[in-house]
Structure 1
C-alpha cells in the first residue's frame, strides 16, 4: 500500500514539475513578444507568432456600442517596427496561465504606455499552441479603455 501511495505521489509531483516547465515556456513566449515590442525588434516580435495568427480588439464607441476590430498580424509587426525603441511599453499586472496538452491560454491585465505616457489599459487574452516543440501565439484578443487604468 505504501508503495502505491509513493508511486501516486511521484506521478503527481512529476506532472506538477512538467506543468511548471510548460508554464515557464508559455510565459517566456509572452515576455519575448513584449520585449520585441519595447525594442521595436520585428525579428524578435515576429518569432512568437504562429502562421495565420490573429489579433482582435474589443472597443466601445462614445455611444457605448461594442465592436470587435480585427487587425492583420503582418501589419501589427510592421507598425511595431516603425516605432522608436522604447516608445511602446505594455506593462502587465499578472499572468494567469492554463495548459492542456498543446493548447495554452494566458490572461494578462495590462497598462499601455506610449512615449512614457499612460495611454490605455485592459486585458489581453492569448491563445497559444505548441508547434514543433515551441509555444507560439495563435490569437490575441484584448480590451482597451482609457479610464480607471492602474499605474504599473
Structure 2
C-alpha cells in the first residue's frame, strides 16, 4: 500500500511539472511570436498575440527628473510595426521570472532594443497574459526604457 501511494504521489508530481512546463513554453511562444512579428514588420502576426482589450504602457523618465506613465494604443503600435520601414526592429529579450496561476501568467523580460544592429535602448518588459480558447494572449505590457545601465 505504501508503494502504491508513493508511486501515485510521484506520478502526480511528474504530471504537474510536465503540465507547468508546457504552459510556460506556450506563454514564451506567444511572447516570442510578438517579437518575431516586430522583426518582420508584420502587424497581422503581432495582433494575433494581443487580447482585444490589451493595455500597453511605459514608465518613462522625463527630462525634469520626474517619472511618467505613458499609455499607448495597441492599434497604433501595431500600425507602426506594420508600416513598411527599411530597418529591422529587433528587441532581444531574456526571460526572468515566469509565474502562472490557472489562466493568468506574469512574465519579466529584460531587453535590449536594436534598429538593425545599432543599439537604441534597453529596459525591462513586464507582461501579463491570459489563457483563452485560442491560446495565451497578451493583456498587458508595461516597460521601462533607458540608454545605459542595461541588464545583462
The answer to whether TM tops 0.5 is yes
Listed as ranges, the gaps of 5+ residues in structure 2 are none
**Once superposed, which parts of structure 1, at least 4 consecutive aligned residues long, lie more than 4 Å away?**
none
Count of residue correspondences: 151
Structure 1 residue 85: deviation in Å? 6.0
Structure 1 residue 117: deviation in Å? 1.1
Is residue 92 from structure 1 mapped to residue 93 from structure 2 by the alignment? Answer: yes
1:2-151 equivalences under 5 Å are 2-84=3-85, 87-149=88-150
2:123/2:151 contact within 8 Å kept: no
Structure 1 residue 64: deviation in Å? 1.6
TM-score, length-scaled by structure 1: 0.94
SS in 2 for 1:5: helix
SS in 2 for 1:23: helix
Residues 87 and 26 of structure 1, relative CA distance in 2, 3 Å threshold:
same
- RMSD of equivalent CA atoms: 1.4
Listed as ranges, the gaps of 5+ residues in structure 1 are none
